[in-house]
Structures are given as structure tokens and as C-alpha cells.
Structure 1
């Protein structure tokens, strides 16, 4: 366990470390071309170092409810199961069996270390699967995303479930394995039923135009009929009673720094929509896997926009935001559009990370 870092500075160190890496990446891009063998070797070494640094830094953090939210709740589950309690089978059954299993041979700190591995490793795995040479950029975008820290240290169950979804995407050409991962993800956290269902829709119909128009329509529909959509989705029993409570409960200002229709978060979400639209419709980027991911993102993000005024709507935002970095960076990795591609990628990452860094001073300011 890491005890030499003050708890109040834990996130600060992460965010400034990310800032350093983002700026260093820009400087490196000015000096070495993308396809240079030295650059490829540098990216691989940097990626592995980053992977293990994050794994130990996040996985060995102290237990704290004040700074790491739900971490205390999960530690209580662990202690209860370690003392022989029966598994809670009311909801997210596999997550509780997972904690019960770990409690048989590990300490509570081992639980969080293993859980951190399950959270981060699929991001690395999918990045390597999509680009053996330039996977660092994809992985890097994952870890500097706005939601990365929150769902690795607080909304842990949700973060792990969406990472299992990402792990499943590594096998998008092996549907049985992919859907097995999806099933495990849903049993870790039921909200992943939404991205799973969205991905299945994209398997049936994979043309982005219709989904794009649906996303555009969700904004005025939410502005005009926001409460109607919240009531509708709650009555349909999306997820479980707890999630219905997220939709219909009284607005809690602590759920977001401001409540109501969050234009700042809609603009953040729209950045990925714009990138997808630009490459698919303007640059004729034709990639079947990218279409699946983009369409899944559009469906999930449109759902969130419709219920954006709901209490804890950030829980639903993450069901699309965990894909936002992938949607943005993927076309830059898969096809060369610019003479200085490495520099272009570095600048895109700077712009993308700017929102995360800005929200460090706004969203996390207490």
C-alpha cells in the first residue's frame, strides 16, 4: 500500500503526471516521425512503463471513503465475505461472487490491486489489438480521459464492467468469446446492458447516418421533453430499482457540480460525434469496427442526453464516455491523413486532455 502520498494529493499527482506526459508527447512528435523505428520502440517502452505505473499507483492506494468514494463500501463487502457471510445475490451477482472469491486467499488490498488490473488491462489489450505499433496513443487517450480516474477509484464496479466490455471488443471477430465477456460485464454491473444492446443494434444495422441523426434529435427532445424521457425509462425498468432511483430521485447537487441540462458535458460528448462525422462522411473513412464503436457511442450518449437532468446522470454518461477517447483517436491511428501525423495526433491529445485538466479546476473543485 502506498502511504507516502498524502490522500488529498493523490489525484493531483495523477493529473499533473498526465499533463507532463501530454506535453512530452508533443515535444517528441516534433522531433521523430510517426513511422520511425525509434519512435515505435519509444512508444512501446513508454506504454509498458505507463501501464505498470498506473497499475501500482491506483491499485495500491489506501482505503478512503472521503477521497475514493465507494472504495469503503467494497472493503466492507470484502470483510463481510472474509468472515463467512453469504453472498449478496440481489444485484450484480458476479461482482459479489468475485469479491467472495478474492476474500478466500487475499487481503482487502489485494482485492483492489486485482480489480485495478481488470480495470486497466483491457484498455491496454484492446489498444494493442487495434494497433500493434501505435497502441500507445490509444491507451494514452484512455488514461487521460475525464472519467478514467473516477471509475478506477470510486465507481469501481461500473468501471470494471465497462472495461470487461472493452475486453470483449478484443474478440469482435470471435462472437462467442466477445459475448461471453459482455455477459460477465452485465453481471458485474447491469448498466452495461445499454452499451451491449447498442453494440448488438450496430451488428444488425451498421450505417452511422441514422444513428447520427438520432443523436442530433436527442438534444431538442431532451430540452423539450426531458422529464418525460426520465419517467419513461424509469417505468421500463432499465437496469434495476437502484438505477430507476438514479433517474427519478430528487436532484442532488453533489452528483455534478451544476445540475440541469449540462451544455459543457454535451459539448464534450459532441467532440467525439464531430470526429466520427468528419472522418466517416467527409473523409470517407470506411472501417467496419469503427462504425460499430461510433454507432454504439451515439446510441448510449443519446440515451444520456435524454435523461441528462436526472440525479446521478453521470452514471449514465459514463456508459458512452468510456468509449469517447477510442472514437476520437482511432481514425488517426488507422489511416494517415496528414503529413506530420505524429504531431497531429499529439495535438489532438492535447485538445482532448484539455477538458480533463479544465474540469480538474471546476468539477473537482470543492
Structure 2
């Protein structure tokens, strides 16, 4: 457990640290060509340093209410440590992970393991897909608006999302299926992005996904509350918290400001990969199947969130698409050459993406 950092600034330290890393990355992008071997080595070294330090900082955090649902996980873990049966049923793999680690009677080991399972798949997926440029992709994932919160608060969902990204990076369908299954057995909410992945295997016309996303906006404006009730009634997700998020929130105290209604701010933020994807796919005529698949998957999952955007804490649903945002924004810029001063374009994209999350979380 890290007792060197005072609790009141524990989370802020993460954001200030990533700010320093972002400034170094931006300066490097503006002054050096992306293709230089020395540049790629510098970015890779910086990304590995971030991987190690974030793993330690996040993984060794004290058990405290400041980290949201961490207290709920800790209560269940302590219950298992005492030899009691689990109070709530959760997905198979996460339940077994808790029961195995409970034998060591160390909540600190449990939370460090969860952090490792959250960050390590992102590291390996970035290296597998982006090769020598993996550092850019990994840092974009760390710079994501929801990265910290899903490492310390929405722990189970965060792990599942990272494993899902690892699944997407696999070369064979068998390996993909295995990792998709593992992700689902950590948190069944990954069924939604998985449905998007399977949909693209059947319907590869990416224009239809853009039209679906656009159509979801007026549909939500007109039938938002009805759709929320519908998804509850059909039991799309039978998690107890779903009823709280879509319905009465008084039973849930997460220590955040509740905003109910059509979240135009979240919608505008979610539109970033939509605009970027449309530009590169239709304007630049990019034929990369992986990029088209990622974009279609995002549009599918984000469109579903738009339909229930009025739900309390709708960011929980938005995460099912947001966890892919950093990769989608950076993918074409480090895979292809589009602009004369592309290193400057990369710098601007990274800066804008980082500042959104930094300012929203700090201010």
C-alpha cells in the first residue's frame, strides 16, 4: 500500500503526472518526425515508464472511499477472507479470482492484481497492433477521460474492457473468441461491443453504422424514457445496478454530481471518433478493415448508449464504447501518412484528447 502520497492528492497526482508526460509527448511530436528510429524508441521508453509507474500508483492505492466502488469490492473480498459465501453473484472468472486471492488474506494483493489485469492487456494489445509505434496508442489509452475511474472505481468493467481490446488485437478467430469469452466472464456488459463486432462480420457496409448512430439521436430525443424502460423489461442486463442507473438513484451514492437528462456534453464528446472515422473512411478513402471494424463497433455501442442517454450515470453505458476512443482517434495517424506535417497533427490530436479528460477531472 502506498502511504507516501497523501490521500487528498492521490488521484490528482495521476493527472498531473500524465500532464507532464503529455507535454513531453507533444513537444517531441512537434520537433521530431514520427518515423525516426530514435523517436520511436523515445516514445516506447516513455510509454513503458508510464506503464510501470501507473501500475504501481494505481495498484498500491490505499483502500478508501475516495476511489468509489473500491470499498464495495473490498467489503466483498473481506467477506470471502472470513470464509463466508459470496453476498452477490458476479461473473465466473472475477468471482474465482476473488476466491483464490482471498486465501492469501491480502486486499492489497487483490487490488494490485486487478490493476495488473487492467493495464497489462492494453500494453500487449498496443504492441501487437501498432508495433514500433505502440507507445502512441498506449499513451492515448492512458490519457482517456475514463482511464483512471475504471481502474479504481468500475474495476470489473475496466478489466473486461482491457481484455476485450486484447481480443481485438489477436490474429486468429479462435484466439479472438477465447479472449472475448474471458472478457465476458469478467463482466457481461462486454456483450454489447461484442454484438457490434459480430454485426460487422455480417454487415461490412460501414455507412450503415454511421446512419444508425445518427438515427439514434432523434430516436432518443423522442423515445428516450420509453427505451430505458424497455431495456429493463427485456432483461438485457440483469445486474442490480442497472435498475439503479436507469431508475431510482437514491440508493446509490457515488460521491459525484448527478445530472439527469439528454447529455449533450457527453454526446459531443462521443462524436469525436465519429467525425474522425467519417473523415478518414469517406474523405481519405482509407480501406483498412481493422479501422473500419473498430469504427463500426464504436458506432454500434455508442448508438445504444445514446438510446438510454437519460439514464442516471449514463457514463457507465458510454464506457462500453468510450474505452475504444483513444485507439480510433490515433489509429489512422500512426498507420498511414496523410499530411505533410503529420507529426504536428498527431500532437494536436493528443493534446486536445488529453486536455478534455484532464480539465474535466481536475476542474
Q: Could you state the TM-score of these two structures normalised by the residue count of structure 1?
A: 0.94
Cα deviation for residue 57 of structure 1 reads 0.6
Cα deviation for residue 256 of structure 1 reads 5.0
Per the alignment, in what secondary structure is the counterpart of residue 98 of structure 2? helix
The answer on whether the counterparts of 1:92 and 1:187 sit within 8 Å (CA) in structure 2 is yes
Give the corresponding residue for 1:220. Answer: 218
Give the corresponding residue for 1:290. Answer: 291
The answer on whether the counterparts of 1:146 and 1:356 sit within 8 Å (CA) in structure 2 is yes
Q: Mapping of 1:59-78 within 5 angstroms? A: 59-65=59-65, 67-78=66-77
The answer on whether the counterparts of 2:25 and 2:43 sit within 8 Å (CA) in structure 1 is no
- Indicate the larger mover: 51-60 or 123-132: 123-132
Q: Deviations over 1:173-211 (max 9, x none)?
A: 311221111112112112111111111111111221000
Distance in structure 2 (CA, Å) of the matches to 1:244 and 1:358: 29
- Is residue 170 from structure 1 mapped to residue 169 from structure 2 by the alignment? yes
Runs of 4+ off more than 4 Å = 251-257
Give the corresponding residue for 2:115. Answer: 116
Give the corresponding residue for 1:81. Answer: 80
The answer on whether the counterparts of 2:258 and 2:313 sit within 8 Å (CA) in structure 1 is no
Give the corresponding residue for 1:24. Answer: 24
Cα deviation for residue 30 of structure 1 reads 2.6
The answer on whether the counterparts of 2:259 and 2:312 sit within 8 Å (CA) in structure 1 is no
Give the corresponding residue for 2:57. Answer: 57
The answer on whether the counterparts of 1:59 and 1:117 sit within 8 Å (CA) in structure 2 is yes
Cα deviation for residue 116 of structure 1 reads 0.5
Shift in CA distance, 178/28, structure 1 to aligned 2, threshold 3 Å: same
Cα deviation for residue 33 of structure 1 reads 1.1
Give the corresponding residue for 1:152. Answer: 151
Distance in structure 1 (CA, Å) of the matches to 2:17 and 2:301: 30
Shift in CA distance, 248/351, structure 1 to aligned 2, threshold 3 Å: closer
Q: Which runs of 5+ in 2 are unaligned?
A: none
Q: Mapping of 1:1-366 within 5 angstroms? A: 1-65=1-65, 67-87=66-86, 90-105=89-104, 107-171=106-170, 173-250=171-248, 257-362=258-363
Q: Could you state the TM-score of these two structures normalised by the residue count of structure 2?
A: 0.95
Cα deviation for residue 142 of structure 1 reads 0.3
Distance in structure 1 (CA, Å) of the matches to 2:352 and 2:325: 13
